Chains A and B, each alone.
Chain A
């Protein structure tokens, strides 16, 4: 795997390999010294054109835990503010010869696009309403630990599917792992034609009890330049997941950040069935695993001066040894 651009292009074996690797990093995380030297001397750039707490902090911490040098660029306050094009920004950052660029961008296909402009491995940390593959991987990781297998399991994804890259990536990933997926949302928040991705679509929570897992999406108020529902009150009355609607054997997930009292109630968030904080913890080890899979086995890109190959041999990847 050269890049992680979408979950669509990652097969089940590759998903399993990343999850297994993440398990081993979870092991490291329980030690006193949580850092490994795997990516020592290599540079990772995070390039965020949209705000983020979880994704940016966990990729940054993952890079540090792997001993990489980290450059974090946020569009606000950078040359992007001065009108620099994506292509020029990527060319500039590529001059530091990074091993990987982790990019979040408000438009679909941005990660794929920059992969053509840089020799660095590119990780899509969210591109518009398209995909968020690392989120899907951490959610699959979280659920695999709880469920063991996805075969025969029913997962309901509830909420603002239209504006959600998480919904797309997770739908693909859950199905690839063997689960059946139902999307539940008001009709105005369901993209026309989504059922062709192989899911059921329903406009009501009436059959929610059939779900083994309820995955709640954030109402993306910031992406809505239009009223898609008459009011948040009416939305909550019909689609909010609360302790009354949630059965005791059902698992609850949410990619965060939550709008308490809108798509999900406070009691549900804090209930024992909620995996929300486990998801966050999984984010770190899964993103370590992603960077490891992309970079550790891969020789450093030969530079224009012909260096690099020797460095790659010297830096044979190791895991599990404290730095």
Chain B
């Protein structure tokens, strides 16, 4: 919220050389800061030093990139990723996951706490933060669980966890089944602070479900996970948040019913924010006819075209303030099995901008400015500073070529896992350089080589 702090004041990153970089004649776009046009963007000592007229900036002692025809945006912020550490480092770790984030244009990510063991005690959180300070390419924050071991029974020591640096609290991966426990967490928030982020799923209604319940699940004979299993839990938690005057963030909205509940709650003054994932904004349950769990099995599941349209409308009107990838890497062994047996989740950090640019911006469904705004919108719900191009702020910049076409997966992934929902797709728009927390976190190899010539 306050622009007085930087992302790196709160999140952890491997220390490196502060960037001194001039993006010559870049097309800058930061709708929130009111910046739009061709300028020289000057980064000095890791901060945005100046926005100069095209060709006018002094590049002495700085690296100069010819950015004519390229776009520079505030780098993106993802409040919902799974780095699988500790416990499942064969799927992802802080190094590979944060590299994937850098490749996707992100300057900050929040790692979920459903690790093995879950992040339920301050010592574990402290250890993770130390790992990030030695291995993270972009600033990383860590969530702590709401309940001990994600068992849904007793609250964690939320004050101590918050003091140790927990960005937020969430049992993501699982819902908080008990309304009583949920209510206690919301009450306790008045003491410990920190947004409570919620995976909304009534396990009674979703039991046995592996995809959206509807015509496609009926045709395939797969167990249905109905939309109402999500929307009824959101309604419960919005009512509880209103009653306790607490603050919640609803994760990965997937259904029209859920959008309606969040919109109504916001109108009634409930302190609720919401996110949607790129895959729910681009795909429908028709994809599941392929029975390919590697690309199309996730939780919550892909839903219908009407649901997708409702999410897009909510993205436009601000009911959904941010895009979160729910980057969920899995090893091939957990995906090369029949659909019902496969693990839930797809990766998304490396493709989110390109996929949404290709599927929503290019066809004219949403405009580029809205996409850029929502991709960076995940910081505010957690009281973190919104990435911006405004002079004086910490440099968090994604330099993108909107015309570049590339086929996802053909050069492999920065992530340790390959379960990308975009695998094999040809996308238009690519991140070339990411500056995160004031440091150059990523350069697309072919672009750097081209620049060197």
Contact = CB atoms under 8 A, between A and B. Distances in A.
Given A85-B333, A192-B213, A193-B213, A109 B218 contact: no
Question: Quick one: which of B218, B221, B333 has the most chain A CB within 10 A?
Answer: B221
A196 B215 contact: yes
Interface residues of B, number: 21
Given A105-B338, A108-B340, A193-B213, A130 B220 contact: yes
B216 to A, nearest CB: 7
B339 A109 contact: yes
B97 interface: no
Interface residues of A, number: 24
B108 to A, nearest CB: 38
A192 B214 contact: yes
B218 A191 contact: yes
Interface of A is mostly: mixed
A113 interface: yes
Contact of B221 (A112, A168, A192, A196): A168
A128 B333 CA distance: 20
Contacts of B291: 108-109, 112-113
Interface in B218-237: 218-222, 224, 226
Given A109-B338, A112-B291, A129 B222 contact: yes
Interface string A209-228: 00000000000000001000
A191 B217 contact: yes
Contacts of A196: 215, 218-219
A113 B338 contact: yes
A49 B214 CA distance: 28
Interface in B429-449: none
B219 A197 contact: yes
A128 B337 contact: no
B227 to A, nearest CB: 11
A1 interface: no
Nearest to B213: A192
A11 B449 CA distance: 53
Contacts of A165: 221
B89 interface: no
Contact of A129 (B213, B214, B216, B221): B221
12 contacts: A87-B336, A105-B338, A107-B337, A107-B341, A108-B340, A109-B338, A113-B336, A130-B220, A168-B219, A196-B219, A197-B218, A197-B219
Interface of A: 85-87, 105, 107-110, 112-113, 127-131, 165, 168, 191-194, 196-197, 225
Interface of B: 208, 213-222, 224, 226, 291, 333, 336-341
